Structure 1
Amino acid sequence: MSRRLRKLTSVFLAVSAACILFSGCAGNKDGSQASPSPEVSGGEAGEFVLSLPFDPADPLNPLTGTNRINLTLGPLLYEGFFQLDRSFSPVPLLCESYTTLDNITFRFTLRTGVTFSGGSLLTAADAVYSLEQARTSSLYSERLSKVQSVKAEGELTVIVTLNTADSAFPVLLDIPIIQNGTAGSSAPPGTGPYVLSSGDGESLVLRSDWWQGLPMPFDRIGLVEVRGSDLLIQDLGSNLIQLVSTDLTGTDAPMFSGNYDVTEYPTTILQYIGFNAEVSSVFSNAAVRRAFGLGIDRDFIVTGLLSGHAQASALPVNPASPLYDSTLAEKYSYSEEAMFSALAEAGYTDSDEDGVLDANSGGREAAISATLLVNSESSFKVSMAEHIAASFSQYGIAIEVKKLAWEDYLTALEKGDFDLYLGEVKLTTDFNLTSLAATGGALNYGKFSDTKLDGLFASLAAAPYQNRGTIAAALYSTFCQQAPFIPICFKNQSMLTREGAYSGLEPTQQNVFYNLSAWTQGTSS
């Protein structure tokens, strides 16, 4: 399990509401700036302390809330059937075990003796209630779209039936469980290690009756009222708060300087090149699409343009995942020789040595030229698009970068008015690609279709969970041959903490406090 810890002295930091996890409100709803709550302070010098941003104007409800500041606090208060580790693999939490015979009907057995913060025991009724609430939640409805029914059987068994097979369904069940009948509460009871306290300033207090009973580094976590997303970094610098999680390559990232430790963690956020396979005769050819993937220097993009805040990937799965095949990825990584070979397979060569690749079509030379759409509101994406265009111009392929504001960019994609586009999508944690590459997929803007790949998507979903690796290898091999789109990289997110304050941090995309019990004070040697 890898973790990158770096000193941050001068970086571009995204503090916009779209890119910073501890953001979402610039002040009180009437527009006034809130006064910060007092920082939690210990009675003894050097006491292990943590204070985090909090927006009291919005609920802490993990199923209905929309404020990213408060949702980020969720794993301290709530738990799911499973939690995902840094390889996106499920680790049992409230679920003690599960069985399935057909990957359609799942029987989940809950742990005994788990209590909510109010003292009542966790039962199957609570879990069913929570999952039913999640099915209508904007946060979780997409991942639960295959669910046909959820019901309780006895006190500790939950039966979930899907409308189609999906062996990776447990990977999606890190959904917070709340007490039955409390969805309307701003902070419903949860089973997590902390509970919200309003005494002597709002804070999170460690529960003495938490079922896991692990020793935690903080008996109390201070909650500092948000003064505005633009002041979060100032609050971190002044030690009013001790932690911020952010996207360092997000939209409109301003410059700031400071000395912080940066712990990066993998995500399912994929950046890729999409093709219009329906309209363009050039990109309807799999060999041409494959050649484009071979001609992109992903390592340079990650290190030179994204400052290392991503993981280069020739496959549509994060390198941190056990499904990632490094041998296959290497075969389809940057190689000018392999790129020209693929183009020659498609009939494109520089036969007259004029520096332009072309094919003989009806007695006429037909060169490759295309327009690459990119969202103009992200300087990082624009830089990536311009680098890709410049690289291919050296290969004799003319690419024009067309920069569009987000709404215009999205409209062009939906209308199919493009040759190529630089896209970004947050995949579900099972790395399901059907929306992007299956026939009729919601994000399949280029109308790509391949029956073999569609069959492999279905086979992967139906395969026993322990056999997913074998089917995934076949799927990714076919994917690389057909190249419905070209993966470039998976973004990293970054957690900033005071320099030398903490060690043992293992943030994940779903929970920046993952394995909190292992945190220690001071940087380990």
Structure 2
Amino acid sequence: MVRSRKGLAGLAAAATALALALAGCGSGGSGDGTSGTRLSDDQQNLTYVLNYGCTSLDPTENFDNCRMQMSTNVFDTLVTLDSKSQPQPKLASSWTWTDPTTLQFKLRTGVTFSDGTPFTSADVKATFDRYIAMKSVLATQLAVVSSYTADDPTTFTIRTSAPTGTLLGVLSMIFIGQEAHASEDSYWAKPIGTGPFVISDFVANDHITLTRNDTYWGTKANLKTLTFKVVTDTNARITALANGGAQVVAGVTNDQIPTVREMSDVTFSQIPSYTYTFLWFQNNRAPFNDVKVRKALWQALDQEKIVKALLGETADTMTALCPSAAFGCVSPTNAPKHDPEGAKKLLAEAGYPNGFSTTIDYSVANTGYDQIIAAMISDWKAIGVTVAPKSDDQATFLKNIASPGDFDMIVNSNLTTTGDADFTLNRLYPCSAKRLGYCNAELDALLAKARQTTDLEQRKPLYQQIANILAEDVPGIGLFENNINVAAKKTVQGLNLTPTENYDWSTVYLTS
């Protein structure tokens, strides 16, 4: 049986509870609520072992978890999302829809970049230029923007081609860079932001070291240094936690949860996340240009057995193409059941009675995917389909899945960062995305209508129709949705876990 997932209200409550649990009591509290002494400033150095590393630091290029962790703490955005995915002021102090398609921002004054350069609306405009020129991560979301202007140093205006109820959520993903350098690749390779930390060192797929920005316009960070560390060996990750090599470890595996729970000086926390894992077919490449083939491969998978055996309580099976913790990510009513014999029949109808051979790509950066894919390959073999796994380094993998994608099948993880289905579905599955050779005009019309509708209750039935179309067309398969599984030393205070995993580390500090 698939475990139920929390909705947004449940996520907000879970996040609040975890914030209290990990913050302890007062400025000297430890993770378990007992008293402790706050370490001196020179000792406020924390290492966080994240799920996988960065090949680049450029957030305009991609928004994998590593890049987002860095960007959230080095940059600021115009708005930020609270635990209920509602927009709150950041670099913008306020905003107004002056008409249904015009959004005007008033910007904070007295804000500077970490190098002392004053922040103005010109920086926002130059950053928008960069994101739009890149035609990558937010291209679909920003396609609705018809123009934008820096009206004066503290006023920025966006005009859209149609009413867009999800625009503020998208803007929480745009990290504001400097006007003078926003068009330069070299700037984004080691960016300077207005956030609470600055980048002091970066080695691709190994570590990022951040230091406190003492000129930060807001509340200064408690930590002196923050290191995002990559440790690919799962046993070494737990060893680092045990011997003090790291104070926080993400992605605790199912088989290591009992070990972590028995560690007296460690707190283990778990909440649903907006992260999930999916399989894509290249829909315009034979044999995957036949929906019967795609449906057959879905029916052949015993997803629940695979997830239970390999992931246990760290994940739940899914049938949608975005995680149920996010608004609008509803399960289709027409998802197929595990049925190997039915899958064989579909293959025969598609002209492949003896099956076929193909490949499946995945990134070596995704820990444990080799086992998951091996189990999937076994299920496909049972219906006569031979699949060869292709493990790529992260850079090669990202290149292969860029528009237009170069793969037969891929397995990858994704993050519905805004907590809204629009962010994932309207980015990856409209005709304009060109990511996996899939196009359905009816789906496009529904996605556009859902985006333009501001009333949440009116949007819900639209997303049910969208989910059903995607389940019928099978451009891809939602495999499983992850829980956030974090182990932290009880000396770590002020860490607020969120479904996005993009944590604000400026509130965190260490005690004895």
TM exceeding 0.5: yes
Look up the match of 1:158. 156
Which is higher, the Rg of structure 1 or of structure 2?
Answer: 1
Measured in 1, the distance between the counterparts of 2:439 and 2:178 equals 44
Measured in 1, the distance between the counterparts of 2:111 and 2:435 equals 41
The Cα of 1:80 is off from its aligned counterpart by 0.9
Look up the match of 2:317. 312
- The match for 1:367 among 327, 340, 353 is 353
Distance 1:510 1:170, change over 3 A: farther
Instruction: Report whether the alignment pairs 1:443 with 2:435.
Output: yes
Measured in 1, the distance between the counterparts of 2:491 and 2:142 equals 44
The Cα of 1:51 is off from its aligned counterpart by 1.7
Look up the match of 1:423. 411
CA contact (8 A) 1:132 1:150 kept: no
- The match for 1:283 among 286, 290, 297 is 290
Note the alpha carbon deviations across 1:283-304, whole angstroms, 9 max, x for none. 334xx64565455443333332
The Cα of 1:269 is off from its aligned counterpart by 4.7
- The match for 1:93 among 90, 105, 115 is 90
Look up the match of 1:401. 387
Measured in 2, the distance between the counterparts of 1:89 and 1:322 equals 12
Instruction: Report whether the alignment pairs 1:432 with 2:435.
Output: no
Query: Where does structure 1 lack aligned partners over 5 or more consecutive residues?
Result: 7-43, 349-355
The Cα of 1:314 is off from its aligned counterpart by 1.0
- CA-based RMSD: 5.4
- Give secondary structure in 2 for the equivalent of 1:314: coil
Q: Within 5 Å, give how 1:188-337 maps onto structure 2.
A: 188=192, 190=194, 192-193=195-196, 203-204=211-212, 210-211=217-218, 219-223=222-226, 236-239=241-244, 241-245=246-250, 259=263, 260-263=266-269, 266-274=273-281, 276=283, 279-280=286-287, 283-285=290-292, 289-290=294-295, 293=298, 296-325=301-330, 328-329=331-332, 331-332=333-334, 335-336=337-338
Look up the match of 2:479. 488
Distance 1:220 1:402, change over 3 A: closer
Measured in 1, the distance between the counterparts of 2:192 and 2:346 equals 64
Look up the match of 2:205. none
CA contact (8 A) 1:267 1:509 kept: yes
Look up the match of 1:513. 504
Compare relative contact order (CA 8 Å, sep 6+) and give the higher one, 1 or 2.
2
Identity between Structure 1 and Structure 2 (%):
17
The Cα of 1:152 is off from its aligned counterpart by 1.6
Measured in 2, the distance between the counterparts of 1:483 and 1:65 equals 25
- Give secondary structure in 2 for the equivalent of 1:456: helix
Distance 1:376 1:133, change over 3 A: closer
Look up the match of 1:52. 46
Judging by fraction of residues, say which structure has more helix: 2
CA contact (8 A) 1:82 1:170 kept: yes
Note the alpha carbon deviations across 1:85-137, whole angstroms, 9 max, x for none. 5665544433322426455x432333567666688875433433443455457
- Give the total of aligned pairs: 441
The Cα of 1:272 is off from its aligned counterpart by 1.9
Q: Within 5 Å, give how 1:10-89 maps onto structure 2.
A: 46-47=37-38, 50-52=44-46, 72-85=69-82
Look up the match of 1:131. 128
Query: Where does structure 2 lack aligned partners over 5 or more consecutive residues?
Result: 1-9, 19-34, 49-54, 202-208
Q: Within 5 Å, give how 1:470-481 maps onto structure 2.
A: 470-481=461-472
Residue identity matched to 1:106: L
Normalising by structure 1, we get a TM-score of 0.63
Instruction: Report whether the alignment pairs 1:453 with 2:446.
Output: no
Measured in 2, the distance between the counterparts of 1:384 and 1:65 equals 25
Residue identity matched to 2:157: I
- Give secondary structure in 1 for the equivalent of 2:385: strand
Normalising by structure 2, we get a TM-score of 0.64
Distance 1:61 1:405, change over 3 A: closer
CA contact (8 A) 2:295 2:474 kept: yes
CA contact (8 A) 2:68 2:502 kept: no
The Cα of 1:359 is off from its aligned counterpart by 8.7
Distance 1:88 1:487, change over 3 A: farther
The Cα of 1:435 is off from its aligned counterpart by 6.1
